[in-house]
Amino acid sequence: MGILDSIVGAVSGGSSGAAPGGTTASSAVVAQVLAMLRGEGGPTNGLSSLLHVFENGGLAHVFQSWVGTGQNLPVSPDQIQNVLGNSGLLQRIAQATGMQPADVAQHLSAVLPQIVDHLTPNGQIHPGDASGALEGLAQRFLHG
C-alpha cells in the first residue's frame, strides 16, 4: 500500500461522500494539498510557507513534530480551522473541492500530518528537495 493509499485510507472510513468529479472527498483534499505544496494556487505554497502559517497560529510545535523523526502530534479539526482559516488555504480547498470548510478541516487533521511527515524523511524542511517526493505522491494519486 502506498503512502497516498494510507493517507486516503486514514480518513475514508469516516467519509463515504464524493467530491465533484467522482473522486472521494479525501482524495480531493489530498490533491489540493499536493497542488498547494507544489506551488500552485496562492500565497501559501510549500512546506516552509505552511510552517510559517502554523507558527503564526501558535502550532509550530505540532508542525515540527510532523517534520521531525519522532512521533507526530495530533491536530484537531478546530485547530486546523483556526490556523488555516486565517491564511485562506481552508477556503481555497473548500471552494476547489465543493466541500464545507469544516469538512475540509476534518480531512486535513488526518492527512496533513502524514503528508508533511512523508515529505520530510530526514526530519528537516529542505526548500526544493521535496519536489521529487511531491511528484511521486502526485503520480501515485493520479495513476493509482
Beta bridge partners of 123: none
Tell me, what amino acid is at 55?
A: E
125 band by pLDDT with thresholds 50, 70 and 90 = confident
As a whole number, the mean pLDDT across the chain is: 77
CB 33 within 8 A of CB 107: no
Domains and CATH numbers, the chain: 23-143 (1.10.10.690)
Percent pLDDT > 90 in the chain is 38
pLDDT, tens digit, for every residue of 70-117? 899 999 999 999 999 888 889 999 999 999 999 999 999 999 998 888
Burial of 30 (0-12, 13-18, 19+ CB in 10 A): buried
Q: Which residue has the higher pLDDT, 54 or 23?
A: 54
For residues 54 and 28, what is the distance between their CA atoms, to the nearest angstrom? 22
**Which three cell numbers mark 90?**
481552508
Query: Does the predicted model carry a pTM greater than 0.95?
Result: no
